Structure 1
Amino acid sequence: MFRIRKSEVDKVNQDQILEILKETNVLQTGHFSLTSGKHSAEYMQCAQVLQYPDQASKLCNEFAEFIKENNISVDLVVGPATGGIILAFETARLLGTKTMFAERENGKMVFRRGFFVEPGQKVFIVEDVITTGGSVKEVIEIVQEQGGIVVGVGVLVNRSPEPVDYGVPLKSLLKIQIETYNPETCPLCAKGVEMKKPGSRGLKK
């Protein structure tokens, strides 16, 4: 059962969350070539905020407060690798629960390193960003396969163009839609704006 620690940080509103993401270079602007092949003027690199423990803690506190306000009992916080690992760890620290992470093995999300969910454990899942929600759905499946009970999901950034239904309460700290363009009709290409690829040396770290 969860044990909410005395709040170490104040609650933050949507504007403050957006400001944190801008200040820590999560929300980046420019001309980006995405893995889908499309282009965009914006890119979300959620790992950037994890460089700043104080800011990351403020965000994870929102998950903890959501759990408290909705009277959700939590025994374990799980995050998919790699984006959800630190967020799940900090959320669990604030709740006073255990934490672990799932990772891909041969393309499938699994628990390794001796991690397992005990039957009946109540599990809250935390992820950094969702677009289709597929990774979280995979984690839900392996938790349930081991007899765990998924009681909620928390995501830092919800980029899904359509509502995502996990069958449990979902807390999205920020909902945002980023416009993308086909290369042949990209207005940024037409203006000659320098192209950057996320993760490349040309992208500000």
Structure 2
Amino acid sequence: MTSPAQFNPQTFIELALSKGVLKFGEFTLKSGRVSPYFFNAGLLNDGEALSLLASGYADTLIKCDHVEVVFGPAYKGIPFVAATAVALSQNHGVSVPWGFNRKEAKDHGEGGVLVGASVAGKKVWIIDDVITAGTAIREVVGILKKAGAEIAGVLVALDRQEKGQGGLSAIQEVQKELDIPVHALVTMKDLMNFLEYRGESDALAKMEAYRIQYGI
């Protein structure tokens, strides 16, 4: 059996561009900043895109310690975590339990806000698309800890590598506050390397200007 190719950020960036997941231009963010690019992981909505993303998550997780359960925050993280569990099994021969949360608790059937594998007493990796302000990650960490989980780390698709209100990025703030590692498959630096390789000098200049103003 041929081993699957390792995740390549450039390949993922090319796919993201072709699917409209990643766009270069001018985009006003919720923060009010005008960004030279926009990333919408919700458009990773076909088998090819989801498979490549999940393979990237799996390739990263297999190198990490304490992967006892993988967890996807509702709602966007749910397909990501399910696909990642499949990729871990198919690509690496490792069967890892997975689960997710509901936005609203149920009082019948499975009940509660957590669905899937038990997290009590387990080291849990959280899988999501991006960390923007860190609010959602802090919320799900609280839910998991209340259920008895130990948070091993967080894995996201993109690290924008830009400062929040202070001098740290949202990812750096989460790492510092929660004392957990956060890994990203693709960074702003990867996007800039891609543009340089493609000879997209105008887009690269805008990215560099944005990095100088807001980068970490």
TM-score exceeds 0.5: yes
Q: Alpha carbons of 1:116 and 1:68: their partners in 2 closer, same or farther (altered >3 Å)?
A: closer
Aligned length, in residue pairs: 167
* Correspondences of 1:75-90 after superposition (within 5 Å): 75-90=68-83
Does structure 2 retain, via aligned residues, the 8 Å contact 1:132–1:160? no
| SS at 2:148 equivalent | coil
- Note if 1:102 corresponds to 2:97: no
| SS at 1:112 equivalent | strand
Does structure 1 retain, via aligned residues, the 8 Å contact 2:101–2:114? no
- Note if 1:173 corresponds to 2:172: no
- Note if 1:136 corresponds to 2:129: no
User: Structure 1: any 5+ residue segments left out of the alignment?
Assistant: 1-5, 179-205
Does structure 2 retain, via aligned residues, the 8 Å contact 1:129–1:157? yes
Distance 1:79 1:120 in 2: 18
Identity of aligned residues (%): 26
**What is the CA-CA distance between 1:41 and the residue it aligns to?**
4.2
Distance 1:160 1:140 in 2: 22
User: Structure 2: any 5+ residue segments left out of the alignment?
Assistant: 89-94, 106-111, 163-168, 192-216
Higher relative contact order (CA 8 A, sep 6+): 1
Does structure 1 retain, via aligned residues, the 8 Å contact 2:55–2:87? yes
Which amino acid in structure 1 is aligned with residue 103 of structure 2?
R
1:61 maps to which of 48, 55, 58: 55
Q: Which residue does 1:119 correspond to in 2? A: 120
Provide the alpha-carbon RMSD of the alignment.
Answer: 2.9
* Correspondences of 1:1-205 after superposition (within 5 Å): 9-49=4-44, 51-70=45-64, 72-95=65-88, 96-105=95-104, 112=113, 117-161=118-162, 162=169, 163-164=172-173, 165=175, 166-176=178-188
Q: Deviations over 1:69-117 (max 9, x none)?
A: 23x23232111122211111111222322222224349xxxx6265574
Q: Deviations over 1:13-38 (max 9, x none)?
A: 22222212212211123444444455
**What is the CA-CA distance between 1:146 and the residue it aligns to?**
1.2
Normalising to structure 1: TM-score of the pair?
0.68
Q: Deviations over 1:118-155 (max 9, x none)?
A: 42122110001112222122212211111112212110
